[in-house]
Each structure stands twice: as C-alpha cells, then as structure tokens.
Structure 1
Amino acid sequence: MSVYEKEKPEFLDEALKSIESQTVVPNQIVLISDGPLTPKLDEIIKQHQLIHGELYDVFKTKHNQGLGAALRFGTSKVRSDWIARMDSDDIAVPNRFELQLKEIMANPNLALLGGQVDEFENSIDNIVGHREVPLNNEKIHAFLKLRNPFNHPTVMINKNVLQSVGGYNSRGNLEDYFLWVKVISSGSIVKNMPDVLVHMRVNEGMYGRRGGIKNLKYILKLQKLLYESGLVSVYEGCIWGVVMIANTFIPGRIRKILYKNTFHR
C-alpha cells in the first residue's frame, strides 16, 4: 500500500483495519509513505504500528514520486512469494485473502489473480457502482485490447513473475495496465475471481484523474507496447487508441456517466 499527503486519515484507518481483520491475516504489511505526510496521517500509521507492530514495515520517501515508483520500491521489500495490492482509501472484504489464497493453491500455475469491486460513496452501505472484469485467461486477453482487465486494488501477483517482467514503472495513471500487458505477453496464466474482493471508494476526482492531456503520452506508449507484444493488430490498436485518446478530452462529469453506465458493465 502506498499513501500520500492528500489521503484522508479516516480513510487510511478504515483501509488498514480491513487488512488487519482478515480471516487470513498477512504476515507482512508493507506501507510506503510517498513523500512527507500530514501529522494526522502519521499518527494513524503510528497507532496501527503500536497495535500490530510486528506486521508493519513502513518506508518513507523524501519526495512524492507517484504510485508507480512507490509500488516499485515497496514490492522490492516484500518477503513472501505473493504480493497483495491495496489502496489507502479502499476497504477489503473480510475474507479477501482467504478466497484468493485458496484459488492460488488450487491453481499453482497462476501468476496473477484479481477479482471484482463494488464502488461506494461515503459508506460501504452506499454502493453506487460495480466494475466487472472477465474471469478466465482467454477472455482477459480479449478484454485487454480495449480496457484494463484487472481491478488493481484486488490483485495478488507472484513476486518472481513481477520481477521477471521488470516490475512496476512510472506511467502516469496507467502503471498497472502496463504491468498487466508485460505479464500477459510473457505467457503467464492470469485469472479474475467472480467474487467482490474490495469495496472501492469513488468520488468526482477519481473520474477526473482518468482523463487529462498529461496521460496522452502514456496512452500512446501503451498502444505501442500492446502492438509490439503481439496482443493487438494494427486495426485493433487504432480502435483502442481512438477510444483512449477520446477519453482524455471528455469532461469529468460525462466520463463518470460513461464509466458507471457503460464501461463498468
């Protein structure tokens, strides 16, 4: 998990509690402070360390580097064979890790395992959306051509596979999409579970961040990687490029309607 100064302390507190109270508790929680945090955020982290100190490895960077760089650093500090991702404002369902570990044990060839998310505003009792992603390897490959096939905060990934493909890189808001392309093009087996594993917090700002001209160069680089990896044809790449580039220009309020009513179904 990476956290930065703009996160709300109460959201971080809820996220950490949802990890600590799992039916299968992780043997290590790697928390990256991506740049200096507010005193209230630091206090939340200290409180959790006091109660569950043996679980926490907290690392601090001098400057905010962005999610991709923070995860690249953080994943290098994980001691286990499998790494579970989590965002600092989301809430994991109580048996998330239990469900995923059972699936991994039943399918030892898996390299990457994700699941479904519910989207909520303010409270997990107020579900406002649901992002469905495809389940099996074949459907994930097809989905990848136009859209991100994994809900990033639900993912568990094999550390050896992650390292073999070069790990996370700084790619704007697309660091996870780039990683999935590298994993899938390596021939690794991937899967999504049908279960909701994480309640994802959403707001107006989230839909705004999915656009923006600053992401345009990463969209073009991703399109190039998809083509060079043999995952899309020239025609498919052009369609993907048009859709993604259009997404950077539409207003945030329209993007919110499209995501909630079309893209997430």
Structure 2
Amino acid sequence: MVDNKLNYPRFSVLMSVYKKENPSFLDEALKSVENQTVVPQQIVIVEDGKLTAGLNEVLETHKKFFEGDFTVIKSIENRGLGLSLRLGTRFVKNDWIARMDSDDIASPKRFELQLDKIVNDANLVLVGGQIDEFEGDINNITGFRSVPTSDVEIREFLKWRNPFNHPTVMIKKEVLENVGGYEGKGKLEDYFLWAKIISSGYEVSNLPEILVHMRTDAGMYSRRGDLKNLKYILNLRNYLRKLGIISITQMIAGDVIMISNVIIPSTLREKIYKRFLHKGA
C-alpha cells in the first residue's frame, strides 16, 4: 500500500446502491476499493431507497473493517443515480471525489494513477480512464470502451458521444459544486455534468490505462432502447447547442443518430456496439 501522506490530495469514493443489486457484486466492488495501492480516506455510500438484508449485511461488514471513514446515507425512496450522487456529494469531506459503481471492479492501481496525474497537472479538475467489460467472471472480457485522453480530443468527442466512462472519474468537489452538481437526468446525469464542466472552461483528461472492469449482462443493450431515454437524449442535444458546444446542424444530425439507436432492435444495437463502439476482446 502506498503511503497516503505523499503529496496526494485527500479523496473520497462516492457510490450509490439500490435494492436490486447483487450483494456479492457490491462486496467485490468495495474490496477493490479497499485493496488499492492508495486507499481513500472516506467511502460515501448512498442507499437509494430501502435495501435488502443481504446488501445491508455487506455494508455493515465493510463499515466495521474499513480503516477510514465509512459514511452511509439513507434515502427513503429510490431517486435514481443522479439525485443519489447529488445527495452523497453533501457528505464528502475531502477535496476530490472518485466515482465507483456498486457492481464494478477497480483495477488495483486505479487511484494511484489518477492521483499521479492530478499532482503533475495542477489545472486538472476531472480525470477518468478506460474500461473493459466482462460478463460473469472478470477474465471473461467481452469488450472495451475507449475514450480520448487529451482535453482537445475530449471536447470534440463530447459533441457526439459521452467522453468519459463515468465509474472511472475522479473530480474536484469544488468544481462539481461550482457547476451545479449532479442532476436527475435519467441515465444521462453524467453527460450533462461533463457538458457543464467543459463549457465552463475547466481542464479535463482521461488516462490511457484501464481503470475499471465494468460488469455487463445480456440486458444491457435492450435497456439502451428504453423509450423513456428519448426525452433526456433530445434535452441533452439541445443543451449542448445552447452551451455553444454544437451547432444546430450537429444537433439535428445527433438527434437522428440517437433516436435511431433507441428504436432499432436490441439485437442489431448489440452488434453495432460490440463491433464499432465497444470493440470486442
């Protein structure tokens, strides 16, 4: 374990959990955080509604053995990821927030790599990285989601696709609050946030290394076809236009692409993602 007293800034891990999640997956996720070469000073868990006994048992076990501050926030009702993270941000005690999903597995040097980058670039306010995707066993890699690394490339990528893998990001708390924080934006709460940060002129980056192993399942591609997503997708494209990130022509072209992605059959969507967007192993 690397000494946290190096000139690394103090940071907290922020995670949301809800009742439909698998206790064993949550346990693996938390272990991957606690076994880092550089561990956080605080873990903030938001219970997004009432949890099952199994999930509560996992949280109690980790709260008992984690050497740092293990903060659990209970939300009475399920509010969704964006609003849960907004709530959890209020209880973060440190300058930086590392996001983590409750069913993913962080690579062992994830935080060390990100903190090295932050220490060496004082202007950075947000740093993410690459992910691989697995089904069942962590060695069963089914795909990758690669995102650009430089600030310039990220700004261009933002016009058409999400430029960060949300569960990999580490973000400066002060900046997160300055731009208004997370909002309830369906499944696009992160994309809206990146647009706010980038349009405000802050410097951002992605590392080339895989920082998180993302758990996927057979239903992932069908969920992307949920018609409820259309409202948020169209709102996002219009928001990007209002911020001056894209032109009207780019907004319309993006609308057509995004709408097509929602309405096509899930089997075709899966093939497109695996072949072009999330390139297979």
Q: Distance in 2 between matches of 1:251 and 1:139?
A: 31
Q: 2:31 aligned to 3, 17, 40, which one? A: 17
| Aligned-partner residue type, residue 68 of structure 1 | G
| Structure 1 match to 2:217 | 203
| Structure 2 match to 1:246 | 260
Q: How many residues align?
A: 265
Select between 58-67 and 247-256 the one with higher mean Cα deviation.
247-256
Deviations, residues 138-189 of structure 1 (Å, cap 9, x unaligned): 1111111110000000000111110111000001110000000000000011
1:222 aligns with 2:236: yes
Q: Distance in 2 between matches of 1:186 and 1:168?
A: 15
Question: 8 Å contact 1:204–1:252 — kept in the other structure?
Answer: no
| Aligned-partner residue type, residue 84 of structure 1 | A
| Structure 2 match to 1:187 | 201
**1:55 CA displacement:** 2.7
Q: 1:137 aligned to 127, 136, 151, which one? A: 151
Q: 1:166 aligned to 165, 175, 180, which one? A: 180
Q: Distance in 2 between matches of 1:53 and 1:19?
A: 12
- TM-score, length-scaled by structure 1: 0.98
Q: Secondary structure at the match of 1:24?
A: coil
| Structure 2 match to 1:235 | 249
| Structure 2 match to 1:27 | 41
1:55 aligns with 2:69: yes
- TM-score, length-scaled by structure 2: 0.92
Q: Distance in 2 between matches of 1:199 and 1:131?
A: 10
Q: Distance in 2 between matches of 1:85 and 1:9?
A: 19
| Aligned-partner residue type, residue 171 of structure 1 | K
Q: Distance in 2 between matches of 1:118 and 1:72?
A: 27
Question: 8 Å contact 1:130–1:264 — kept in the other structure?
Answer: yes
Which stretches in structure 2 are left out of the alignment for 5+ residues?
Answer: 1-14
Q: Distance in 1 between matches of 2:133 and 2:56?
A: 27
Q: Distance in 2 between matches of 1:205 and 1:55?
A: 35
| Structure 2 match to 1:150 | 164
| Aligned-partner residue type, residue 27 of structure 2 | D
Deviations, residues 172-225 of structure 1 (Å, cap 9, x unaligned): 110000000000000011110000000000112222222211111111110111
Q: Distance in 2 between matches of 1:5 and 1:105?
A: 37
**1:53 CA displacement:** 6.0
Q: What percent identity do the matched residue pairs reach?
A: 56
Question: 8 Å contact 1:83–1:159 — kept in the other structure?
Answer: yes
Q: Distance in 2 between matches of 1:123 and 1:232?
A: 40
| Aligned-partner residue type, residue 190 of structure 1 | V
| Structure 1 match to 2:190 | 176
Select between 253-262 and 133-142 the one with higher mean Cα deviation.
253-262
